Structure 1
Amino acid sequence: MMRLAVIGAGRIGAVHAAAVAAHPAAQLVLVADPDVAAAARIAEPHGARWTGSVEEVFADPTIAAVIVGSPTRFHVEQIVAAVRAGKAVLVEKPVDLDLARVDECLATVGADAHRVMVGFNRRFDPGFAEVKRRVDTGEIGSLEQLTIISRDPQAAPAGYLVGSGGIFRDMTIHDFDMARFLLGDVVEVSAVGQNLDPEIAAIGDFDAAVVTLTGASGAVATIINSRHCATGYDQRLEAFGPLGSLEAGNHTATTVRFNGPGVSAAAGPYLDFFLERYAVAYRAELDHFLAAIGSGAAPSPTLVDGREALALAEAATVSARTGERVRLTPTTHVTTHASTREASS
């Protein structure tokens, strides 16, 4: 039985705590959050302890792994502390909002980076995972075009968005990872941001965006994002090649469809929140994490995957602000070069 702790008693911490508590090979031991009452609300129903000090997590030698679901600004220090304490780590995205801090994290954990998994849970969605497997078998031939559509039912509160790092670091980062998962290395980024919501524009962010990624293979991915969608949580993906295409569509609560005189195949609304839409993916993500720890294998997505997704987010931010394409190179930071810009890859 693997003994785990969860750091962070917010929405995502509650999801991870419940998943650990329900897993037959895991035991939720401790929930840590400066808001002790919030930690207690999550821990007590699962028979776990709670604390206001994250140091208690790192000091407990019986805890084998830590799930970091705290605010992003604490991720790097908590990753480093957990690894130094000999624990495996599953950290929520993004690793940090600053690429340089992620590079420092990688340098600090060094050879122990293989003990850190980044929570890009969409890789574990059954539909998306099947598309990946079938692309890899060559069923559609060489991947030529990838389309990812990701729209939220409504924008998060402005108080959250103002500290989120912007749409590319907060929202699109999942899609950047999915694009890399299917496409491989990306060499160029072009992004257009939209200001359709005056409240989001007022905090200096975009509420919608379209991003084009060019892969080293020549394949191209298009990512379409919006902070609002009247039809619900819109999550779709299409992979296209010379032999055909593969699609993963939206989910509804049931598979029931109505056919009548004025309508065909009428379905219920899309699942309206990421916690419901990706519930299976969160469980599969935990399965993978625990299996990797148990076998001594490196879990995936890796800390490097987290870094590369953030590099794409940084490049997209530059492209959307300047209207220029951004070439990805092995450098460390975004730099300006005449009519083009270069970013780390």
Structure 2
Amino acid sequence: MSLITLGIIGAGRIGRLHVDNLLSVPQVKIKAVSDVVVDHLQEWAASKGISVLTTNYQDLLGDPEIDAVFICSPTSTHAQIIQEAARAKKHIFCEKPVSFSAEQTIEALRVVEEEGVLLQVGFNRRFDPNFKKVRNLVQHGEIGQPHILKITSRDPQPPGVDYILNSGGLFMDMMIHDFDMARYVMNSEVVEVSAQGAVLVDPAIGEAGDVDTAIVTLRFANGAIGVIDNSRQAVYGYDQRVEVFGAKGAATADNCRPTTVEVSTVDGVVKDKPLYFFLERYTQAYIEEVTQFVKSIAENQAVICSGNDGFQAERIAKAAKESLLKGQPVKIDHAENELIAN
């Protein structure tokens, strides 16, 4: 297998995580990293064998040696960089969401399709072995016709208000992972969304125009019903659970914990709290998603999480926000959903 040369656009937490994970993929060379400020990255880049640091991401797009780029910059930059990268014939991995605008996302995906490059969106939970097994059980008919999907997703602590102001809100920033997981597990489009939200964790989040606690119900095209609950603060750890109930039974993925040891005494039954941080919980998923992206390039195969998957999750997030504001269910029309093969 020939060497695949990569560039990383954005060297924040997630960009550096992808660098670490890509270094374990044998057929990969990371040549260049761009960020708005690179002075503090010199020692880090040298330790990773990265030869090029630049403040201009277009240097990566203009480099003929670079086969693909990872877009890990702020969401407001994603759609434009996707278009430029596609026109430069680079394959693209882009963190979620593609954009905050349906029009911008559609245009970005149109250019990707036109240029014939691959685009994978960074919904890492698809690559979690527990959630993937639930999906496979559903797809193979082990639980029969799905009736109810339940997803719980709660962070251990809320982000700062500065983050909230630029995040797109709870539905677009946090629950969007669960919207993607809902489509992935059920293999059916969401046709109706109903949302309830509240500010129960931090009043500053409400002052910033967002909610920190929410429940969203979904109706799928296959007739099944889904419910997702999110909170910005679960004091006991990072709470991530999925259940699909169907005609023949149920499949459940529980929280991951440091150990599976359970201690039973006269005083009670005790086991470890869930893992506290998302980088711990999804370590293997993050590795697997970049490995599969590289494999898709090397073998000229479709990616597992496409641009259209990203777009559909954005549509659900926007419908949830609309439902919250209007206080009524919002339908999602798929009649003209002929978007994107990538």
Q: TM-score range by the shorter chain?
A: over 0.9
Choose 206-215 or 269-278, whichever is displaced more: 269-278
Partners of 2:112 and 2:119 within 8 A in 1: no
Q: Distance in 2 between matches of 1:94 and 1:12?
A: 14
User: 1:292 Cα shift?
Assistant: 0.6
**Is 1:163 the counterpart of 2:159 in the alignment?**
no
- Per-residue CA deviations over 1:67-119 (Å, capped at 9, x if unaligned) read 11100011111111111111111100010111111012122333346610000
User: 1:154 Cα shift?
Assistant: 0.6
Give the letter aligned to residue 321 of structure 2. Answer: T
Q: Distance in 2 between matches of 1:69 and 1:178?
A: 21
Partners of 2:125 and 2:285 within 8 A in 1: yes
- Per-residue CA deviations over 1:121-152 (Å, capped at 9, x if unaligned) read 10000000000011111000011110000000
> Which residue of the partner structure matches residue 273 of structure 1?
277
TM-score (norm 2): 0.94
Alignment of 1:204-243 (within 5 A): 204-243=209-248
TM-score (norm 1): 0.93
SS at match of 1:285: helix
SS at match of 2:332: strand
**Is 1:40 the counterpart of 2:42 in the alignment?**
yes
Alignment of 1:175-254 (within 5 A): 175-183=178-186, 184-196=188-200, 197-254=202-259
> Which residue of the partner structure matches residue 306 of structure 1?
310
SS at match of 1:4: strand
Partners of 1:17 and 1:43 within 8 A in 2: no
> Which residue of the partner structure matches residue 339 of structure 2?
none
**Is 1:25 the counterpart of 2:30 in the alignment?**
no
User: 1:262 Cα shift?
Assistant: 1.6
Cα distance, 1:135–1:119 mapped onto 2, change above 3 Å: same
Give the letter aligned to residue 241 of structure 1. Answer: G
Alignment of 1:100-179 (within 5 A): 100-112=103-115, 115-179=118-182
> Which residue of the partner structure matches residue 296 of structure 1?
300
User: 1:38 Cα shift?
Assistant: 4.4
Structure 2 runs not aligned, ≥5 long: 337-342
Q: Distance in 2 between matches of 1:268 and 1:228?
A: 18
Cα distance, 1:66–1:42 mapped onto 2, change above 3 Å: farther
Q: Distance in 2 between matches of 1:228 and 1:205?
A: 14
Cα RMSD, aligned residues only: 1.4
Percent identity, aligned pairs only, is 41
Q: Distance in 2 between matches of 1:210 and 1:270?
A: 21
Partners of 1:83 and 1:89 within 8 A in 2: yes
SS at match of 1:289: helix
Q: Distance in 2 between matches of 1:131 and 1:199?
A: 37
User: 1:25 Cα shift?
Assistant: 2.1
Structure 1 runs not aligned, ≥5 long: 333-345
User: 1:281 Cα shift?
Assistant: 0.1
> Which residue of the partner structure matches residue 261 of structure 2?
256
User: 1:30 Cα shift?
Assistant: 1.1
Cα distance, 1:219–1:285 mapped onto 2, change above 3 Å: same
Give the letter aligned to residue 47 of structure 1. Answer: G
